[in-house]
Structure 1
Amino acid sequence: MNIYVFEDQKSLNFEPLSLTRPVFDIRIGSETFLERIQFLFPNSDITIFVRKDLEEITRDKYPNFNVNPQSIDDGLWLLGNVIWEQDDLSNLTEENSIYYYKNNFVAANLNSDQGKQWLKDGGPTHTIPEIKNKCNIEVGYCEYLWEIIERIPSTINYESNYFEGDLDFMEDVVQQKTNTKNIFADECLIEEGVFFDTSEGPILIGVGAEISGPSYLKGPLYIGSGTYVEPLTQIKKSVIGNSCKIGGEIDSVIIQGYTNKVHEGHLGDAFLGEWVNLGAGTINSNLKNNYESVKVHVNGQSVDTSKIHVGCFIGDHVKTAIGTLINTGTVIGPGSMIATDGFPPKTIKPFTWFVKGKHREVLFEKFIKTAEIVKRRRGQKILVSEKQLLKKIKNSCKSD
């Protein structure tokens, strides 16, 4: 079966993360949205459709995938910001049909001519296919970053059904509150004094992770491959991506990967991108004193989350100075740096230096030089397409 994974017109609802990656590249647990689809369709040809600005960087990251082609075969089209599960797929078998979750278009089962006509009409990032047969289904639809955070328990529980781990290994090293059947880890280093609490959900640990003791880990929780956890760390109900350095107190957080939050300080109900560095004592608020629902500014508008616990949303390559305070519902664009007394504004545009209460423009070449050093320390380099995308983001903010 041909599988077509696409972004839709709401992709910028996931900013600042979706400014630098397709929505389906955002982490949901041990996987991204796209990796979940790959797991469900291991023998299928997968084609991906993204915003025009992301074409080149997507081709570089997924050289074996067809990106934004014009040639279309019969196939199943899946929205990239749905957390798909195996049971969902049995509801998508009716051909020549489009599928909705509530009022949101989430999938289509189209023949070649219908797919080509959809692309001719504007495609997934601009239109919905004009198909008469419409079906309603229940799926794990996410419209904003905080909704992915909200789904951490169900996501980790689902992934624990197929996450590989060595039970004998865990029984030898674990101090725990419940049984080791809910802890999945192998080929990682766990020091004495690490306490695992699986009373509310499983704990998954990737290959090569290092957990220093004493520390407290409470599920549902995922810690990615190559991530290092400092002594005296508390992590609860969170998703920590690959190759991070983690310390302090973390609760209900998703970190995309390659990020340092290694010092003391609370981080809660937050979503962080890659290559972020939070200075010592950086603390975020995730609850207003009046217990009102938190509003977040995304995609050019203020959105009422209808939630009282909402932290911050931090894009790629953001840095904070020591002692930085971050307010509820703050959005910090990629490439920014915060070094100020008190709370910075709740919306920081990409490539902004907010220093001593004033906005300053980031010098792009200096930024790139620093980013190259940071990535080289983790054995990676900045691609030409990545530089071009970051430059385009910076220039678009300059013209606002």
Structure 2
Amino acid sequence: MPLRLFEDDRVGRLAPLTLTRAVFDLRVGARTLLESAVDVFQPSRLVLQTRTLLAGVTAQEHPETAVREATLGGTLFVNGRWLVRRGEVADAVKAAERTGEARAFVQDGVLLALVHPDPPAALLSRDAIGIEQAAGVPEERVEGEVLVGELEDMITDLGARIAHDAEAMGGLGTHAGTVEDGAILIEPDRIHLAAGAVVRAGAIVRADDGPVWIGADAEVGENAVVKGPVYLGPKAVVHAAARVDESALGYWSKVGGQVHASVLHSLSSKGHDGYLGNSTLGRWCNLGADTNTSNLRNDYGEVSLWDPEAGAFRPTGRQFMGLVMGDHSKCAIGTMFNTGTVVGVSCNLFGAGFPPRHVPSFAWGGADGLVPYRTEKAFRVAEAVMARRERSLTEDERALLQTTAAAHGLEAG
């Protein structure tokens, strides 16, 4: 039975990150939500039912996977926001899949999974699937599962998630890369070092508090300290003397300074001194030298975050929360971000003082004010940045960014 990952009507709450990617492509540990679901369900075929607007970039991201294609016969639908783990609920879903009998798995009014013996064409073409589409299907209520519903959920229990993923991916204790003389690996049986990866002289990689998974061709620079749980994706770079703990760095991301309890999706850079804590960066972000994020209020109070649906700030229940930055956004040297700042897609921030705690997409400026960031200029910058990673801005990406600017940019109101 094919596995069909779908999006529901709550993915907008995860903007700006979900403005440019399907929700199941969010990295919430060492792995994305998609990777976790595939690992548990081991489907014979995978189909991605994303929003129509994202079909092109999703197909580009997953060239060997069907996107929004119709399927015949029994299908397992799984909510793309579900952080799937092995256990009673996943076992129940798999049992229903084996029998092929219609069954809806619901948690707190949200459709978690749906086994449908013969889904109609209208269901297979929807941008969003919810509990309403399971009307008339026998329902099984479940509890205790993680649904990523708010931006702060991206980094909740991040260390534990990274540790879980590292164990699931396997290879701990395998050192196929290079450990230079003078580098120190503490508890090497909990460290994975893939082929082509290197730990430079003087670096310390500690796995006594959690595993460290270092991907192919990644690099830990001289005198850097990496303290697990940590995931370094393929070609990720931890610069000399940097400190990284409880964080996940996606493909070809680069960090310097201090990074704590944060996720960099991929192809982003925080290459210099400065602090990034309890934060999430999308793709193609760049933080200038000595950029610092506050992750704790001066009064130690609860952090609020921008609610894109309410158009106002909302409480998070968290004491620690730093920066959320959408794809293709940049900031200049010495930028300071206040606690709980949300920066949209393709912003360019600079100047003294703290930028606003909510910066709409395609904004240019800083504490002294914001003006619309002209799309033609933003695209020129994106093309230059992507060329440095041997990529180019595709027509699908360009069209999606243009739509994002029109619908969610500063000029859109």
User: Normalising by the residue count of structure 2, what TM-score does the alignment of the two structures yield?
Assistant: 0.90
1:157–1:202 contact (8 Å) kept in structure 2: yes
Once the 2 structures are TM-superposed, how far is the Cα of residue 120 of structure 1 from its aligned partner?
Answer: 7.8
2:51–2:128 contact (8 Å) kept in structure 1: no
**Aligned partners of 2:125, 2:194: CA distance in 1, in Å?**
49
1:232–1:247 contact (8 Å) kept in structure 2: yes
Who is 1:143 aligned against? 149
1:318–1:334 contact (8 Å) kept in structure 2: yes
2:353–2:367 contact (8 Å) kept in structure 1: no
Who is 1:387 aligned against? 398
Q: More deviation in 50-59 or 181-190?
A: 50-59
Who is 1:182 aligned against? 190
Who is 1:319 aligned against? 330
**Aligned partners of 1:394, 1:76: CA distance in 2, in Å?**
35
Q: Does 1:218 align with 2:227?
A: yes
**Aligned partners of 2:122, 2:366: CA distance in 1, in Å?**
51
**Aligned partners of 1:313, 1:122: CA distance in 2, in Å?**
25
**Aligned partners of 2:216, 2:79: CA distance in 1, in Å?**
30
Who is 1:202 aligned against? 211
Who is 1:152 aligned against? 158
Who is 1:124 aligned against? 129
1:165–1:186 contact (8 Å) kept in structure 2: no
Q: More deviation in 383-392 or 104-113?
A: 104-113
Q: Does 1:260 align with 2:269?
A: yes
1:58 partner SS: helix
Q: Does 1:359 align with 2:364?
A: no
Measured against aligned partners, the alpha-carbon deviations of 1:342-361 in whole angstroms (never above 9, x if no partner) come to 11111100000024612111
Q: More deviation in 158-167 or 273-282?
A: 158-167
CA gap 1:147/1:122 in 2 versus in 1, 3 angstroms: closer
1:72–1:116 contact (8 Å) kept in structure 2: no
Who is 2:74 aligned against? 74
2:47 partner SS: strand
Once the 2 structures are TM-superposed, how far is the Cα of residue 24 of structure 1 from its aligned partner?
Answer: 0.5
1:155 partner SS: helix
CA gap 1:280/1:78 in 2 versus in 1, 3 angstroms: same
**Aligned partners of 2:146, 2:223: CA distance in 1, in Å?**
36
Who is 1:369 aligned against? 380
Matches within 5 A, 1:27-46: 27-46=27-46
* Equivalent of residue 298 in structure 2, options 289, 299, 307: 289
Who is 2:91 aligned against? 90
Measured against aligned partners, the alpha-carbon deviations of 1:92-148 in whole angstroms (never above 9, x if no partner) come to 1233111123343211111114x5464588751694421242321432322123212
Measured against aligned partners, the alpha-carbon deviations of 1:315-371 in whole angstroms (never above 9, x if no partner) come to 111111111010111110011011121111111000000246121111111211121
1:21 partner SS: coil
Who is 1:164 aligned against? 171
Once the 2 structures are TM-superposed, how far is the Cα of residue 54 of structure 1 from its aligned partner?
Answer: 1.1
Q: More deviation in 98-107 or 322-331?
A: 98-107
Once the 2 structures are TM-superposed, how far is the Cα of residue 35 of structure 1 from its aligned partner?
Answer: 2.0
Q: More deviation in 39-48 or 268-277?
A: 39-48
Aligned length: 398
Once the 2 structures are TM-superposed, how far is the Cα of residue 169 of structure 1 from its aligned partner?
Answer: 5.2
2:263–2:279 contact (8 Å) kept in structure 1: yes
CA gap 1:39/1:120 in 2 versus in 1, 3 angstroms: closer
**Aligned partners of 2:212, 2:127: CA distance in 1, in Å?**
43
CA gap 1:129/1:299 in 2 versus in 1, 3 angstroms: farther
Gaps of 5+ in 2: none
* Equivalent of residue 201 in structure 2, options 192, 196, 206: 192
Once the 2 structures are TM-superposed, how far is the Cα of residue 272 of structure 1 from its aligned partner?
Answer: 0.1
Who is 1:236 aligned against? 245
**Aligned partners of 2:402, 2:256: CA distance in 1, in Å?**
32
Q: Does 1:109 align with 2:115?
A: yes
2:2–2:43 contact (8 Å) kept in structure 1: no
Who is 1:272 aligned against? 281
Once the 2 structures are TM-superposed, how far is the Cα of residue 42 of structure 1 from its aligned partner?
Answer: 4.3
Q: More deviation in 291-300 or 13-22?
A: 291-300
**Aligned partners of 1:240, 1:181: CA distance in 2, in Å?**
21
1:181 partner SS: helix
CA gap 1:147/1:99 in 2 versus in 1, 3 angstroms: same
Q: Does 1:47 align with 2:47?
A: yes
Q: Does 1:350 align with 2:351?
A: no
Say what the alpha-carbon RMSD is for the aligned residues: 2.2
**Aligned partners of 1:296, 1:123: CA distance in 2, in Å?**
25
**Aligned partners of 1:121, 1:385: CA distance in 2, in Å?**
20
Q: Does 1:61 align with 2:67?
A: no
**Aligned partners of 2:131, 2:403: CA distance in 1, in Å?**
21
2:24 partner SS: helix
Measured against aligned partners, the alpha-carbon deviations of 1:234-276 in whole angstroms (never above 9, x if no partner) come to 1010001111121001100000011110111110000000111
User: Normalising by the residue count of structure 1, what TM-score does the alignment of the two structures yield?
Assistant: 0.93
1:220 partner SS: strand
Q: More deviation in 251-260 or 121-130?
A: 121-130
Q: Quick one: which amino acid aligns to residue 194 of structure 1? A: A
